Structure 1
Amino acid sequence: MSRRVQFHGLTFSLAAATLVLTACPGDDVTVSDDVGTTESGTTDTTDDEVGTTDTTTDTDTTDTTTDTTDTTTTDTTDTTDTTDTTDTTDTGVMGTAMLRVIHLGLDAPNVDVYVDGAPAVSDLAFQAGTDYLMVPDGMHSVAVTAVGEPIDNAVLTFDVDLLDGTKYSASAYDYLANLSSLLLVDDDTGINPGESRFQITHSAPDVGQIDIYLMGDPLIPLVSDLDFGTTQGLEGPAGPVPIGVDVDNDMIPDLLFAIPDFGPDILVDLYAVNEAGGAPVFLLAHLPDGSVVRVDAPACGNDMTELGEVCDGADVGMEDCTTQGFMDGTLGCLADCSDYDTSMCTSCGNDVIDGMEQCDGSDLGGQSCADADPDLYSSGTLACGMACDAFDTSLCASGDCCTTHGPGCEVPDIEACVCALDSFCCNNQWDGICVNEAKDSCGAACP
């Protein structure tokens, strides 16, 4: 039973995959010697008995007639036996199955694989797989050893029963201490034109039950409650497939993967695996030609925008501050790659301080002339510069430092400057001479 789901017009068919035991290569076998020997012996014995009876009775006409009858009967029986022999020969021809293997033992060394005690695969590395090997159908024993080790030191052994004309994939997975085998039937028949079929296997021992979603809005469940060491099937349109893997059962994908376009009308065995020590999960795709493709989740911080990332470091795609609604500036990316960083963007003229703007139009951020430069101004009207990167103090003033007959100068730095030049100004009423000295020599802003 399967069901199909829609994603942006694409239909995916979901079904449980078939799990079986598998075996390995050998030679085709013809008719067995036992069958041939049995047929020949029976025929010869019957003929000899008839001949002996004929020789014993020479003068008895009745016996001769009987002998003739016996001979005729015997010939008929022989003809029947010959027909039986032909039937036995047809059913005795052994069929051929196909088997390939993939090494998913996290901490296991390179391995050799034996079938019925004979070498079948040598020096197979972690994450590597083979093409299909031709194997006689029937029962076989499989042994896996560390490369170069004798078969007596096998780290994994299992028996398999193969069917004629059937393809199988065998994996050795888990940590070496718990190394196990999983064998799949690779049924690549009946795939709809233009579609691909996936068998997804959970082979990551450091991760619990997983769920797999087709990424989109909303998320579409593809595989639910996939336990370690089990497989589920999926069929859908060929092409890149964005999927998310939930490893903590909160219905939110924790890992995102962009499954490449492997082509239409094929079956792909897809394994979820992790490195030894619980490193992040990755995927291994075992393709029909025996090659293996590794698919990693995006790595934020590598300056490459990947599935699930809006941007990554300096990679902001074709975006800039203007496409984000700002006037100018430099667009960046947030540290978690979830969105753009517009803190360096500006929109001068919208009366809102954005990014690195010091002010914007009427938005002065609560500043006054005295705040803009307390050593120079005490009054006046503060404005924002045209580029929003500095205040416009052209209308700011130095207060009573610019006024004659006042009590003095309320800007301490200007007053100290004037007094150093003319002590009269500090001991008497502030007059026009003091004002001019404040403006001309001490930088007072006097409109």
Structure 2
Amino acid sequence: MTDSPARPAPLADPHLVYDPVPGDGPKDVVILGSTGSIGTQAIDLVLRNPDRFRVTALSANGGRVALLAEQAHRLRVRTVAVAREDVVPALREALAAEYGGREPLPEILAGPDAATQAAASPCHTVLNGITGSIGLAPTLAALEAGRTLALANKESLIVGGPLVTALAKPGQIIPVDSEHAALFQALAAGTRADVRKLVVTASGGPFRGRTKAELADVTVADALAHPTWAMGPVITVNSATLVNKGLEVIEAHLLYDIPFDRIEVVVHPQSYVHSMVEFTDGSTIAQATPPDMRGPIAIGLGWPERVPDAAPAFDWSKASTWEFFPLDDEAFPSVNLARHVGRLAGTAPAVFNAANEECVAAFLSGALPFNGIMETVTRVVEEHGTPVTGTSLTVSDVLEAETWARARARELTATTATAEARA
């Protein structure tokens, strides 16, 4: 492919380094979603590398107050942000117990905008490890404040695509998803004009090889039994439906400015190769490590430097087999649906994501069968009609589209549950 001189740089480009606070010493980091899977692993990385990173603020929803207080004390942060205002008294008590009255407690921010305030606070890098589209406002705040954004919250990019791309400067976003951290590193092997295709790998989840008919009666426990990754329930179900892979296809398009028809998904059960880039000369560069998110987190926080011993490496003295299979689009229609909403752009990805979040919640509660997740999401997307697109898109448009999609998904889920009860 040939680049036009006026063509903008991709959001994520390993050849471009955005450094908002150049200088020596540890990078000041804000961690959003600190008590979740990404956040806890990021803190582990920081504590093992105090010469490289210093955490200035933490944010969490508020469901694990004792852990949040422990993290704040160990890291000596200036600010703790919590989304749930009702847990502030318990948080103060937990902080007082951790600090023991020997030193001042950190500032507490509380409420639905607390993470957004933390994202805009003085620092070098914001790691957005929040799950779900609620991460959009903090993503926009970090970009607008000029921070480097280590992005693990793929939903904020997907639902707010044009809003994010309008704010992000070249090199300002470093992807933290294992697949996109892999593409980011592999893309460093060539120029943008040399890229023929991006290949996103999928483990296949717990239901790899099953037909659509064989998925009709799977249980919640079946869906949560991921063969290679330990994740939260929503992300794990998204892996079982391969919705996560559909979201990653949209994310790849937005991050790297590669057309959808040149982004391929292949099933790789071992989850060793995290993604690949095929270049125009026929070479394919693959990024491979044992499954461990600390490696991608280290790329997000440390780039362009690598963090020694961030994650385990392969023992090449031991034999192993790596397999690759084509994706079964009939059993797992989520990836093609994601391509469709990605091409529609505007509010369509927000509708797709919001409807999916509601349907996953319904499945986890037993109100919707497994195949009903994608059947319902597809119907909501179809009913949405023409999305709001282009430069006219606003945050209000995104939120309005999400609200409608959630409500419609709940209506359809209730209808499905009623019909099954009568059957």
Name which structure has the greater RCO, CA cutoff 8 Å, separation 6+: 2
- Same fold by TM-score greater than 0.5: no
TM-score range, shorter chain: under 0.3
Greater helix fraction, Structure 1 or Structure 2: 2
Q: Which has the larger radius of gyration?
A: 1
